[in-house]
């Protein structure tokens, strides 16, 4: 909502007259309310940071204890003995044995001897002894260097672990480091778990080949129960929140159900910025709370010189109802604010009454004059207003006279009166200039439209007026060619271009091109291409050579003009004597070839490499390909205005729909065939105007009736002879 002059004047009076009161309110807010809120927020953030740091140190302690287990026991020797037993066998045999065990593992029962072998191995006994001293570890197991299980305290889901991400990450670590996987909920145990994975090597080796990998599953719920929030009061709540906002646990609340509550909205977004801080936010059913938060990073690499993953998956929050925290100053601030608002309104009404006569009413007159001028001036592209409206009544000198008369009523004896006189003189000049400008624009518009119409006629004159007859009448070639096209530019001038070139009595070339962009610049390029084609007509029988020369000449022209332009071109030469087609492409979509007899529709080629569009490089080489043609073949050359035509949902027509459309209309003859195709594209687009130029050329290979007549005559002569 835009404020009027009266509203702004009231605001100015209120600020000027009640400035001391405003300063008092600001002082209370700054010294009292804001200071207390910030002080309490910092305390909440510190409490959250302390809890997060304690949880991380407890996790670090578990990592250090596990590394001590490896360094101070024979665990690495036992793992190495398993690897040496593998070395005595053929690697193929070891792999086969591990795959067989992997297949049997899910079906093994707890009493099965094969499973008991890993549950009661020396490594498993060592792990159980360690687990007894660390009850927060729910499960431990060890693999060998190949990822196969060597000892475990419980049944694992798989026997071979080398395909797991945790195993691969741990195998890359140095001795003393650990990989902590992402936190996950264990449904069977009803607790949240954190996987600690460490490489097993001799203590004296920091890197190099591993002897195995140890994985310990940490009961996070039991670990978090050891944390006590510093400075917690009776109504202060400490929680651990997951990255998706769900509350994992609530400190000192044994009855809390994990993930039963959730942080959401702006509060969650602030918490997820991975920095320690505080805020006051609406927590839905919990109301408005002051929340201190800190990231809890328990996944990634843990070691003495690596702090952990850069992305926190959990957060520690300490919260308390905001009303409890901010109650001391809220009442006083409200009282002072209400008193200030009352005084402000009173002074505003007094100031408005005094200023209305000398400021506001003269300004209303100037405003009315400005509207009159706006009604009489029409910008380019606007339609004339109805005669019954203000814009229809005022124009030119009549509007200027009306403005001058209204401004003469301003009698304030100050700057407003002088401004009104100057405004009246300016209005007269502007409105008269508007009349002259409209006449000039109309004349220029007619001239531009005439030039565009002439340019369109010139461009259409460059397109083929008639198709050559190949072969000529009476020639005994086995096939003859029939040409048809549809050409629909989007604007007055198009960037699409095609030509049918008679190479000889038995050869015809068909070239289709698509210039980058639309409008006059693209149309000029088509004229350049037409001239170059005439100059290079001697090379028209060799498509690859023709495109190389076109590229050289075209690149030289646009280089001298210091322009960046490119043209995609497809060129096909069909020989009616040998029944062969030779074709090449310069970055243009592949033409399609259909057959009326079989109903097949296929691309002439799938994809060509190193055949760039014309104008990109000064020297480019193109590849010619040859294809046998037969009666019934129909070559369809097109520009991307067809395949990229969008429907109402923005989906493009595409080559697959084009191939299907061609197949459905193969029974259409002559010029109806390409017209049916283009009509189908318009139907897909919903009948709206297509955003790009459309050009489609068809070349049909037909039986030559002259050749058939001669053959029948020759056969008859032999029989009679």
pLDDT of residue 568: 93
Q: What CATH architecture does domain 473-709 belong to?
A: 4-Layer Sandwich (3.60)
In what helix (H) or strand (E) does residue 585 lie, and over which residues does it extend? strand 580-586
Question: Cis peptide leading into 499, omega within 30 of 0?
Answer: no
Does domain 72-224 sit in CATH 3.30.450.20? yes
Nearest-5° Cα angle at 90, 88 to 95: 110
19: Cα within 13 Å, side-chain hemisphere: 5
| DSSP three-state, residue 513 | strand
pLDDT of residue 334: 67
Spatial separation of the C-alpha atoms in residues 643 and 647, rounded to whole Å: 11
Q: Taking Cα atoms as reference points, which of 632, 21, 677, 27 lies closest to residue 341?
A: 21
The listed range with the strongest mean pLDDT (61-70, 192-201, 378-387, 693-702) is: 693-702
DSSP 537: G
Structure tokens at 110: 């707890």
Domain ranges of the chain: 72-224, 377-462, 473-709
| Phi, psi angle pair for 344, to nearest 5° | -60, -45
pLDDT band at 281 (very low <50, low <70, confident <90, very high): confident
Please write the tens of the pLDDT for every residue from 92-142.
Answer: 888 898 999 999 999 998 889 989 999 999 999 999 999 999 888 889 999
pLDDT at 453 exceeding the cut of 60? no
The listed range with the strongest mean pLDDT (27-36, 241-250, 347-356, 458-467) is: 241-250
- If phi > 0 it is left, if psi is from -120 to 50 it is alpha, else beta; for residue 670 that is left
- Round to the nearest angstrom and report the end-to-end CA distance of the chain: 104
pLDDT at 409 exceeding the cut of 90? no
pLDDT of residue 530: 86
Which of residues 351 and 601 earns the better pLDDT score?
601
Structural contact between residues 317 and 279, judged by C-beta atoms closer than 8 angstroms: no
Chain centroid offset of residue 113 CA = 56
Mean model confidence pLDDT for the chain: 80
Which of residues 619 and 228 earns the better pLDDT score?
619
Nearest-5° Cα angle at 458, 453 to 459: 95
Q: What percent of the chain has pLDDT over 70?
A: 73
DSSP secondary structure, 601-614, as one string: EEES-S--SS-PPB
| Percent helix, percent strand, percent coil in the chain, to nearest 5 | 45, 20, 30
pLDDT at 570 exceeding the cut of 70? yes
Please write the tens of the pLDDT for every residue from 646-662.
Answer: 998 889 999 999 999 99
pLDDT of residue 141: 94
Spatial separation of the C-alpha atoms in residues 206 and 77, rounded to whole Å: 16
Structural contact between residues 654 and 699, judged by C-beta atoms closer than 8 angstroms: no
Provide the b/e sequence for 684-709 (b: ≥16 CB within 10 Å): bbeeeebebbbbbbbbbbeebebbee
pLDDT at 314 exceeding the cut of 60? yes
Provide mean pLDDT across the span 665-669.
91
pLDDT of residue 690: 85
The answer for residues whose C-beta is within 8 angstroms of residue 301's C-beta and 6 or more apart is: 173, 177, 178, 179, 180, 308, 309
pLDDT of residue 699: 96
pLDDT of residue 242: 83
Provide mean pLDDT across the span 396-425.
66
The answer for residues whose C-beta is within 8 angstroms of residue 645's C-beta and 6 or more apart is: 652, 653, 681, 684, 685, 690, 691, 692, 694
């Amino acid at each position: 909502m835009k404020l009027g002059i009266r509203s702004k004047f009231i605001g100015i009076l209120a600020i000027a007259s009640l400035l001391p009161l405003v300063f008092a309110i600001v002082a209370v807010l700054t010294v009292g309310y804001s200071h207390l809120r910030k002080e309490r927020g910092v305390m909440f953030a510190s409490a959250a940071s302390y809890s997060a740091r304690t949880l991380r140190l407890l996790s670090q302690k578990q990592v250090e204890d596990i590394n001590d287990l490896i360094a101070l026991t024979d665990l690495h020797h036992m793992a190495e003995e398993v690897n040496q037993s593998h070395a005595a066998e053929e690697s193929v045999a070891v792999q086969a044995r591990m795959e067989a065990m992997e297949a049997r593992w899910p079906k093994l029962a707890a009493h099965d001897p094969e499973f008991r072998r890993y549950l009661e191995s020396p490594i498993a006994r060592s792990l159980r002894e360690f687990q007894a001293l660390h009850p927060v570890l729910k499960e431990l197991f060890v693999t060998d260097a190949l990822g196969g299980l060597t000892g475990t305290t419980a049944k694992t889901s798989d026997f071979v672990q080398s395909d797991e991400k945790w195993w691969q990450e741990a195998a890359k670590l140095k001795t003393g480091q650990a990989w902590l996987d992402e936190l996950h909920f264990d449904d069977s145990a009803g607790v949240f778990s954190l996987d600690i994975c460490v490489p097993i090597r001799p203590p004296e080796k920091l890197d190099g080949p591993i002897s195995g990998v140890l994985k310990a599953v940490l009961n996070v719920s039991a670990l978090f129960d050891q944390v006590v929030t510093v400075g917690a009061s009776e109504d202060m709540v400490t929680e651990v929140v997951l990255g998706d906002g769900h509350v994992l646990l609530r400190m000192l609340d044994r009855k809390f159900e994990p993930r039963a509550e959730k942080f959401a909205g702006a509060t969650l977004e602030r918490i997820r910025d991975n920095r320690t801080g505080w805020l006051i936010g609406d927590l839905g059913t919990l109301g408005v709370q002051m929340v201190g938060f800190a990231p809890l990073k328990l996944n990634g690499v843990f070691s003495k010189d690596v702090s952990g993953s850069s992305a926190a998956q959990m957060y520690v929050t300490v919260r308390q109802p905001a009303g409890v925290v901010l109650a001391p100053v809220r009442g006083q601030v409200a009282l002072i604010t209400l008193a200030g608002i009352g005084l402000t309104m009173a002074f505003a009404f007094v100031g408005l009454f005094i200023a209305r006569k000398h400021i506001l009413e003269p300004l209303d007159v100037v405003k009315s004059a400005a509207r009159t001028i706006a009604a009489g001036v029409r910008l380019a592209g606007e339609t004339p207003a109805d005669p019954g409206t203000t814009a229809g009544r005022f124009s030119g000198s009549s509007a200027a006279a009306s403005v001058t008369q209204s401004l003469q009523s301003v009698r304030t004896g100050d700057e407003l009166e002088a401004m009104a006189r100057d405004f009246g003189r300016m209005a007269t000049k502007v409105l008269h200039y508007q009349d002259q400008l409209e006449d000039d624009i109309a004349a220029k518009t007619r001239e531009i439209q005439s030039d565009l119409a002439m340019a369109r006629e010139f461009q259409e004159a460059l397109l083929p007026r008639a198709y050559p007859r190949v072969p000529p009448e009476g020639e005994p070639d086995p096939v003859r060619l029939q040409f048809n096209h549809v050409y629909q530019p989007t604007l007055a001038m198009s960037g699409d271009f095609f030509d049918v070139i008679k190479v000889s009595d038995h050869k015809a070339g068909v070239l289709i091109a698509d210039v980058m962009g639309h409008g006059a610049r693209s149309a000029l390029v088509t004229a350049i291409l037409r001239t170059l084609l005439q100059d290079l007509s001697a090379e028209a029988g060799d498509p690859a050579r023709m495109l190389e020369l076109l590229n050289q000449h075209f690149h030289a022209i646009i280089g001298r003009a210091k322009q960046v332009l490119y043209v995609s071109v497809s060129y096909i030469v069909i020989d009616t004597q040998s029944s062969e087609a030779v074709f090449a492409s310069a970055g243009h979509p592949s033409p399609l070839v259909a057959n009326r007899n079989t109903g097949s529709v296929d691309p002439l080629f799938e994809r060509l490499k190193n055949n760039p569009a014309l104008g990109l490089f000064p020297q480019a080489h193109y590849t010619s390909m040859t294809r046998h043609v037969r009666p019934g073949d129909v070559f369809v050359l097109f520009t991307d205005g067809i395949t990229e035509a969008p429907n109402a949902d923005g989906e493009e027509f595409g080559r697959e729909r084009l191939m299907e459309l061609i197949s459905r209309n193969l029974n259409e003859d002559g010029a109806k065939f390409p017209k049916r195709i283009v009509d189908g594209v318009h139907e897909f687009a919903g009948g709206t105007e297509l955003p790009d130029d459309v050009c489609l050329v068809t070349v049909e290979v037909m039986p030559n009736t002259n050749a058939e007549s001669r053959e029948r005559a020759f056969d008859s002569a032999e029989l009679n002879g």
